Structure formats: C-alpha cells, structure tokens
Chain A
C-alpha cells in the first residue's frame, strides 16, 4: 500500500531534496508552499505523514500544526531552524510528533518517517499480536489500533499508540526516553528527550483521571517512564 507524505516547505531546493528522497523510498509526495495550501490539500487527500517547515510565509507553520492536530491524529514532523527551546518546544506543544533541524540528514529523516507509519508491534514480539494489552482501565487493541478507556474509544495518534503499546507491554518496567526514541521514533543515535516528554504529556491528558497526578503512567526521575503492571 502506497503511503502519502505531504511536504509543506517554501524553499524550492529543500522541497526538491525532500521530494526526491521520499519518492526514492516509494512514497507518494504532495507539495505545499504555504500553510494554507497544505490545509487545502489535507481536505481533499488522504495523507499519512506531514512534514512542516515552521518558517513559512503567511500563516506560521505552528498554526498549521495546531489546525492539523485539532482534527486528526496524523503524524507530524516539523522542520526547525534551530534546536533552541522556542521553536522546538512550541512545535511539540502544538502537537508535532518529532522534529529535525536544518541541515538534516535525509537518511535519518526517512528512518523517522518510516517508524511513524509502520505497523504497530507489541513490546514482546513472541506474544500474539492480536491480543489486547490491558492496564487498569486502558485497553489497547493492536489489530484495530484502537485504545479504549473504560470501554470508550480514545482518539490517539499513531505515535501515542506505539508508546502506549511499548509501555503496557513492558509490564511495569521503566522505559527510558532514549529507548523510546530509538524504538518508537526510529532514532539512530541519541535524540532530544523533550520529544518523548511532550508526547507523555499528551497521553496523560487522554488516559489519566487527573493528568496532573498521574497514576497509570508515572515518571521515574532520571530513568524514564513506566505504566502500572
């Protein structure tokens, strides 16, 4: 099944590089030069992953991320100018799942895109992949990629699903940010832990009774995260 990637980038040269790399990987590529164009495309097409450069003319890339996130769980990777707090944190908080900085290594980016849309696999490969993962009021169904809380469906993005699957599958073991970045996000080397922190924050808002005092998904300072066994 051919996956579709939308690239929202105003720099022609960079857009060409991205397009070529993506097509080499076998993706179908849709291009947008502005945020508005991107939104228009999203209305008509089924897109699997979105790449957004934050520095766009007109509507800022952040607003595009927010609009997209408001209506769907589609994986979003932002392209930022620098790693300093403002751009990255703002982008993650707006709903992005991952980020790369210019100049980026195309191969790395491709690997990260791949993990965003791969089929979900439970933490322990030997287990029956159709078996539901349960943790307290939370139920995870790998076959249907559904998450239920007290029997009710919780809309989660792909990445959120993967992370939950890993955490529940770990049966109470602590998973470090580094581990999650490599396993779920597809990082080949040490990455930015804030990407994980941001997603955990979003997850807690969705699955916890009181997100400010998490009971199911807890932080183990200096080590990582764990879910109740």
Chain B
C-alpha cells in the first residue's frame, strides 16, 4: 500500500534529518569519548610516573611507605598505594587493595602497566609501576568523566531526536506549501465545473507557479468566451426566427379557426400543422428565454396571490382550477416569472408525467412552496438533479413539445426570484416538482 505524498515526504525529511544528526552525534560522541578518556589516561600515566619516582626517592631516603605516601602532593582524587614486602600501604580508603585487578599487578613487572577496571559499577584507571623492591600503584577515578560522557551522550541522542522531529516538520510544511497551490488549482477547476465560469486563479509572483496559474486562467477564459459566444449565437438565431414564426403561428391559428370550412382530410392536416407549429413556437420561446436569463428585464417584485396565480396557470391549460389546494398566502414576487415556473411544472407533468394530479401550496416560516404532483412513475433520484439541466429529458420524452428547456428555465427563474427548485416523490406515487420562494414573515 502506497502512502500519500504528504506522509512520504514528511517521513523522508525526518529520516534524512535523523541520519545526518545521528551521524554527527555518534561521531561527536566517539571522538569526545576517545579524546577525553585518552587525555585522562595520558595525564594519569604522567602523574603516576612522577609520583612513583618521588616515592622511590623517599623510600631510598629511608622513609616508611606510609610516610612516603603522605609526602606525595595530592592532586585530584587519585589514590596512591604502595606494596612492599607483601603489605599494602595506602592513605585514602576509597579503594581496597584487594579490589585491584590481578592482571594489572602481574603485568606490572618490569616496566609497569595500566588498566581500566570497575569496582561496584564505578570506573577506575590504575597505573602500577615497580619501584625498586616495591610496587607503586595509583588509582584514578573515572566516574566524573563517565558521568560527563553519559550526560553528553544522552543530550546528543535528544538533539538527534529533535532534529528528526524538526525534519519531519520542515518536510510537512514544504509539502503543504507545494500542495497549497495545487489544491487551489483543483478548487478552481471544481468551481468552473460547477458553473462559475469567471473563476480565476490569482498570480502570486512566483515564477515557478505562475505559468500554471496563467494556463489555467487562459483555459477558463477560453471556455467562458466560447460558452458566451454560443449563447449569443443561439440567442441571435432565435431572435431572427421571431418574425417568421409569428407569421407561421398566426396563419396556422387562423386556419385552425376556419376548420369547418375545410374538408376532413384538410382539417386533420391543419391540426397536425398547428400542433407542430405550437411546438416550434414553444421551443423558440424557451431557447430565447434561456439564452437571455440574466440579461433580460429585471424582475418586478410586487404582491402576488399565490393560489390565484396557480389557478390561473392551471385554467389556462384547460385544467380544473380545483386541483390547486393548500394555503392561500400572498408573497412578494415577479408574477410573470412565477407563472412561468409553475406553468413549466404543469406542462412537464402533462407531457411527461401522465397528467397533473394536484398543485399544493405550502406556507412555512420564511418560505412558500408550490408542489406539482403528477400521475407518472416518479423520477429516479439519481437523475433528479440532471433533469434541471438544459436539453436533458427523461426517456420517453420525444413526441411532445419542448426542447427540454422547461425545467432548466424554471430553475433559473426561481433563482432570479431568490428561490430554488427540486424534485421529490409525490405521496400519490408520481413525481413531485417543488418550487420554493422566499416569503419573509410579516413583510407582506
């Protein structure tokens, strides 16, 4: 299993740090250890040599070993001892002659020997030098040095650990710094995908990162321009079609009103023509509307009797106004857009939902919702969001009017009014299309 980038980099930095610091620490300790102990031993040897000669002189002068010992200037904490004729003489009592290591004494002949040893855990360094017919031994304690080195060692270990942690922190920060811009790029792309086409990445002045940001911004601009151009094109084309469509629609409706004067075959031909022409007209109006939302006339907010408007929408389509039920609130909204939204829902129910079952108005604190239920099979939750996109239609929606824009228009207009649309399941089994609009309590 591969770890994520951040972990890998952090670990790498930590490891590197540990290795470097560890190497330095170990070398430092080894060298210090070698040097300090070496120094101590060397000075001990010198000291012992000097002292042994002094002792030899005193002994030759006839002093007793005990007296000779007292003559030695005590420097440091060393313990001088003299063995003469099988007896040990020593002034201090820190170490018993019995504790002296045997190999030291046997190796002392003839020129002397030294040895490091420990007694009850304490380290010592003893130098044994034969003087005439006696043996001079001086014992130097190494405890203090040992403590110093131990302390030093642990400090180095701690420092190494800290270095390791610092390394990890630096690694972590470094990754964050690099991932930061990358993440911003990702967020930008996400926002563009979500529709915010003017998203741009700010340039930071960093010559390594700015080219990427610039490329992103260029791409976003290109996409935005292309979409705007296509919208304008659609708008222009649709606009040009207004006049011819007016003529076609008008003449067709007139023919329709003169049906009785036509033969049966001609009458049915007119019916077909009229139906198709109305389809075309609706498609054109939808295209025009969706290409101009945001650029057309601003919404006029005034008091609207929601139930009344709904009943009107329903009657205009030849349905029974009694299917409008529920609350009878008055809200402030743009009447035309409101009728458009509810109308589109009703049309959708009629054409794709096998008929409108009811239109229910619900008043809740701060909002008013209009719910249009149909008698169809309902809408699969997986495609509910997509249905509100332009040109997306359900499976069976081919023969009927509309270019698949009705719901997209309803959604966008609901946003213009400060509300939103969604689809749920109707208790009766079909689909429920809901538009919710703001209705601040007490404001009407």
CB neighbours of B338 from chain A (8 A): 190
Q: Quick check: B316 and A189 within 8 Å, CB to CB?
A: yes
Q: Is the CB of A102 within 8 A of B246?
A: yes
Contact of A84 among B246, B247, B292 (CB under 8 A): B292
Chain A residues within an 8 Å CB radius of B287? none
Question: Which B residues touch A88, using CB under 8 A?
Answer: 297
Q: Nearest Cβ in chain A — how far from B252, in angstroms?
A: 9
Q: How far is the CB of A74 from chain B (nearest CB, A)?
A: 24
> In this assembly, does A4 line the interface, its C-beta being within 8 Å of a C-beta of chain B?
no
A-chain residues with CB within 8 Å of residue B335 when the two chains form the complex: 178, 190-191, 193
Task: Check if A229 is an interface residue, CB within 8 A of chain B.
Answer: no
Question: How many A-B residue contacts, CB cutoff 8 Å?
Answer: 98
Interface string of A212-229 (1 = CB under 8 A from B): 000000000011100000
State the Cβ distance, B181 to closest chain A Cβ, in Å: 42
B301 x A190 contact (CB < 8 A): no
Q: Which of B247, B297, B302 contacts A177 (CB 8 A)?
A: B302
Closest B residue to A80 using CB positions: B242
Whether B339 and A14, one on each chain, are in contact in the complex, defined by CB atoms closer than 8 angstroms, is no
Interfacial chain B residues near A191, Cβ < 8 Å: 335-336
Q: Which residue of B lies closest to A15 (CB)?
A: B247
Asked whether any CB of chain A lies closer than 8 Å to the CB of B37, the reply is: no
* C-alpha spacing A181/B253, complex, angstroms: 25
CB of A42 within 8 Å of the partner chain: no
Query: Is B239 a contact of A82 with CB atoms below 8 Å?
Result: yes
Residues A11 and B243 in contact, CB atoms below 8 Å apart: yes
Closest to B298 in A: A85
Contact residues in B for A83 (Cβ distance below 8 Å): 296-297
Listed stretches A17-25, A122-130, A159-167; interface member: A17-25
Chain B residues contacting A82 (CB-CB under 8 Å) are 239, 242, 288, 292, 296
Residue numbers in A under 8 Å from B268 (CB-CB): none
Whether, in the assembled complex, B135 has its beta carbon less than 8 Å from a beta carbon of chain A, the answer is: no
Kindly state whether residue B303 has any CB partner on chain A within 8 Å: yes
Contact in complex: B336, A21 (CB < 8 Å): no
Task: Give the contacts of B234-291 with A (CB-CB under 8 A).
Answer: 239, 242-251, 253-254, 257, 281, 284-285, 288
B332 at the interface (CB under 8 A from A): yes
Q: Which of chain A's residues 183-229 have a Cβ closer than 8 Å to chain B? A: 188-194, 222-224
Nearest chain-A residue to B308 (Cβ)?
Answer: A178
> Is B245 in contact with A16, judged by CB distance below 8 angstroms?
no
Question: B9: which A residues are within 8 A, CB to CB?
Answer: none
Please state if B297 and A102 are interface contacts (CB–CB under 8 Å).
Answer: no
Q: Which of A14, A105, A188 has the most CB of B within 10 A?
A: A14
Distance of B164 from chain A, by nearest CB (Å): 68
Is the beta-carbon distance between B297 and A17 smaller than 8 angstroms?
A: no
Separation of A192 and B336 alpha carbons in the complex (Å): 7
Chain B residues, CB < 8 A from A103: 242, 245-246, 249-250, 281, 284-285
Q: How close is B189's CB to chain A, nearest CB, in angstroms?
A: 34
Contacts of B309 in A (CB 8 A): 190
A103 closest partner in B (C-beta): B246
How many angstroms from the CA of A172 to the CA of B292 in the assembled complex?
Answer: 39
- The interface on chain A, measured as residues whose beta carbon lies within 8 A of the other chain's beta carbons, has a size of 35
Contact B336 A81 (CB under 8 A): no
Contact B295 A84 (CB under 8 A): yes
Decide: A178 near B304, CB < 8 A? Known: A16-B251, A24-B257.
Answer: yes
Q: Does A176 contact B (CB under 8 A)?
A: yes
Q: Is the CB of B301 within 8 A of A104?
A: no
**In the complex, A104→B316 CA distance in Å?**
16
A106–B250 touching, CB < 8 Å? yes
Q: Quick check: B253 and A106 within 8 Å, CB to CB?
A: yes
Give B311-367 interface residues, CB cut-off 8 Å to A: 312-313, 316, 332, 335-336, 338-339
Say yes or no: A176-B339 contact (C-beta < 8 A), given A11-B247, A103-B284: no
Q: Which residues of B contact A13 (CB under 8 A)?
A: 244, 246-248, 250-251
Is A17's CB under 8 angstroms from B254's CB? yes
Contact of B250 among A14, A178, A190 (CB under 8 A): A14
Contact A222 B251 (CB under 8 A): no
Shortest CB-to-CB span from B19 to chain A, Å, is 72
Q: Which residue of A lies closest to B254 (CB)?
A: A20
- Residue B300 at the chain A interface, CB threshold 8 Å: yes
Kindly state the separation between the CA atoms of A170 and B316 in the bound complex, as whole angstroms: 28
**B245 lies within 8 A of A102 (CB):** yes
Question: Could you tell me the distance between the alpha carbons of A193 and B2 in the complex, rounded to whole angstroms?
Answer: 65
Output the least CB separation between B310 and chain A (Å). Answer: 11
Distance from B106 Cβ to chain A, minimum over Cβ atoms (Å): 117
Report A88-141 residues with CB < 8 Å from chain B CB.
88, 101-107
Please tell me if the beta carbons of A81 and B239 are within 8 angstroms of each other in the complex: yes
Nearest A residue (CB) for B249: A103
Contact A190-B246, Cβ < 8 Å, known A16-B251, A84-B292, A222-B302: no
Q: Is the CB of A223 within 8 A of B303?
A: yes
Taking A21-B250, A84-B297 as given, write out 10 further A-B residue pairs in contact, using a Cβ cutoff of 8 Å, ordered by the A residue number: A16-B251, A102-B243, A105-B253, A176-B303, A178-B304, A190-B335, A191-B335, A192-B300, A193-B300, A222-B301
Return 14 A-B CB contacts under 8 Å, by A number.
Answer: A13-B244, A13-B250, A13-B251, A14-B243, A21-B254, A82-B288, A103-B249, A103-B285, A107-B253, A189-B316, A193-B300, A193-B335, A194-B297, A222-B332
Interface residues of B (CB under 8 A from A): 239, 242-251, 253-254, 257, 281, 284-285, 288, 292, 295-298, 300-304, 309, 312-313, 316, 332, 335-336, 338-339, 444
